[in-house]
C-alpha cells in the first residue's frame, strides 16, 4: 500500500467520522424539538412558542443532515482523484442550494416570530431574507458564468 492510498483512506475515514457526528447532532436537534413540543402539549402552556422554536430546530437539523449527506456522497463514496469541472460545479451548486434553503426557511421562521412578539424587530429577519435572495441570485450568476456552451447544430 503506497502513501497516496493511505492518505486517501485516512481522508475518507475522517470525513465519514465528521459526517456521522453531524448526523448525530442533527438527529439530536430534531429529537429535542419533538421533546419540546411534547412537553408543551403535556403541560398545556406556550404551545405556539414551542412549535415555532421546534420548527427552527428542525430546519437547522435538516440543514445539518443535508450537509452530512453531502459530505458522505462527495468525500467518502464519490471521491475520485480528478473531478471534471462539470462535476465540481454540480457539487458546489448542490451545496449552495442546501444553504439557500436553510437560510430561507430560518428567515421565514424569524419573520413569524418577530411578527408575534415585537414588530420593531422585523428588520433583522428581513435582512436574512434579503441575504437568502442574494444567495440565490449569486448562485444563478455563478451558473450563468460557468455553464458550458453547447453546440447548437444537430
Q: Which of 135, 55, 145 is nearest to 95 (CA)?
A: 135
pLDDT, position 154: 52
Separation between Cα atoms, residue 12 and residue 77, nearest integer Å: 8
Residue 82 has pLDDT above 60, yes or no: no
Residue 152 confidence (pLDDT): 52
**Whether the predicted pLDDT of 149 surpasses 70:** no
Record the pTM. Answer: 0.67
Confidence at residue 27, expressed as pLDDT on a 0 to 100 scale? 95
Give the number of other Cβ atoms within 10 Å of residue 84's Cβ: 9
Instruction: Tell me the C-alpha distance between 26 and 66, whole Å.
Output: 9
With DSSP H G I counted as helix, E B as strand and the rest as coil, what are the percentages for the chain, rounded to 5? 85, 0, 15
pLDDT in tens, 108-144: 878 877 777 777 888 888 898 999 999 999 999 988 8
Amino acid at each position: 500500500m503506497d502513501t497516496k492510498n493511505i492518505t486517501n483512506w485516512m481522508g475518507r475515514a475522517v470525513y465519514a467520522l465528521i459526517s456521522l457526528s453531524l448526523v448525530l447532532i442533527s438527529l439530536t436537534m430534531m429529537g429535542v424539538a419533538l421533546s419540546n413540543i411534547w412537553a408543551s402539549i403535556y403541560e398545556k402552556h406556550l404551545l405556539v412558542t414551542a412549535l415555532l422554536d421546534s420548527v427552527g430546530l428542525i430546519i437547522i437539523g435538516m440543514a445539518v443532515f443535508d450537509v452530512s449527506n453531502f459530505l458522505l456522497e462527495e468525500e467518502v463514496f464519490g471521491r475520485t482523484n480528478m473531478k471534471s469541472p462539470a462535476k465540481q460545479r454540480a457539487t458546489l451548486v448542490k451545496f449552495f442550494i442546501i444553504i439557500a434553503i436553510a437560510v430561507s426557511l430560518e428567515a421565514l421562521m424569524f419573520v413569524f416570530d418577530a411578527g408575534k412578539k415585537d414588530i420593531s424587530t422585523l428588520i433583522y429577519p428581513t435582512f436574512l431574507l434579503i441575504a437568502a435572495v442574494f444567495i440565490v441570485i449569486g448562485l444563478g450568476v455563478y451558473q450563468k458564468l460557468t455553464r458550458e456552451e453547447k453546440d447548437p447544430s444537430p
